[in-house]
Amino acid sequence: MYPIVKKERFAPEVVLLEVEAPQIARKAKAGQFMILRVDDPGERVPLTLADWDAARGTITLIFQEVGASTTKLGMLSEGEAVLDCVGPLGLPSEIERYGTVVCVGGGIGIAPIYPIARAQRAAGNRVVAIIGARTKELLFWGDKLRAVSDEVLVTTDDGSYRRKGFVTDVLKELIVGGERIDVVYAIGPVVMMRAVSHLTLDYGIRTIVSLNPIMMDGTGMCGACRVTVDGQTKFACVDGPEFDGHKVDFVGLMKRQQIYLSQEKEAMERLIGLRIADCGLRIVA
Ligand code: FES
């Protein structure tokens, strides 16, 4: 069992858990992920590491409650425990002295972009972070990113905080404004990563995206996480999760992400039914 030592709710559906997992914390590197199960039987949930503390032996996970498993995970409290955790998994980010690195985090992607920004800055790069969310309530970790970046630019889709618009609007302004950019890292919803990649392709700027396909074993054996990159089949769990954004088949990725939507809906309905039953209520048809 992996005890939860801290829980914080950033927004109605966005939760931070700090979990005791010393073996993962000791080996974690920016860009890697882990897989957990809340209970048995339970779905294996892949989450990119948002942070870790080798001395405390903890890892930090930030997730959005979008399905039954993440909703169950979000129902756990400090002092309770996750059934099992495996990791760190996947290849770490390539951290080199590039020059200027722009780290783009959209929505929940703000969490995994943080350790990448920190590592790129530690390697001697100028780091510009661009973070965005639908609305102000869904933004988090601006302060943590400011501590590891030379500049942090914030945008919201609805204009409720800082400027109104998408992260791609901010990135385009930087590019056309003459900022010399050597590499862009983009993590967030697939549509956002695709939009960033399309934009940077026009300007010939190398772009790395972190893919989030359906995963099961996380060790390259089941094939669930296959993605097409540069016309070749790759397994995101062992060949990624980071890939050249200019070579990813985003349309194929989006289609594969829809495969289990009906099962996911059923699982969510079951969970809601159980929660209502727990409350001692009865559903009247
Ligand atoms: S999750 Fe099974 S091969 Fe990647």
pLDDT single digits (tens) 95-104: 999 999 999 9
Closest C-alpha to 105, from 114, 96, 95 = 114
CA separation, residue 214 to residues 22, 236, 257 (Å): 26, 9, 6
pLDDT tier at 139, thresholds 50, 70, 90: very high
Give the least confident one: 71-75, 171-175, 200-204, 263-267: 263-267
Residues in the ligand 1 pocket, defined by CB under 6 Å: 215-218, 220-225, 235, 237
On the 0-12 / 13-18 / 19+ scale of CB atoms within 10 A, 217 is middle
Contacts of residue 176, defined as CB under 8 A and 6 or more positions apart, other chains included, come to none
Mean predicted confidence (pLDDT) in 186-199: 97
pLDDT tier at 275, thresholds 50, 70, 90: low
pLDDT number for residue 282: 47
Using the 8-state DSSP alphabet, how is residue 225 labeled? Answer: T
pLDDT number for residue 284: 42
Pick the atom of ligand 1 nearest to 216's CA: 1
Closest C-alpha to 240, from 187, 192, 181, 175 = 187
How much is the pTM?
Answer: 0.91
Cβ neighbours of 249 (radius 10 Å): 17
What spacing in Å lies between the alpha carbon of 226 and ligand 1's midpoint?
Answer: 7
Secondary structure class of 19 (helix, strand, coil): strand
Mean predicted confidence (pLDDT) in 190-209: 97
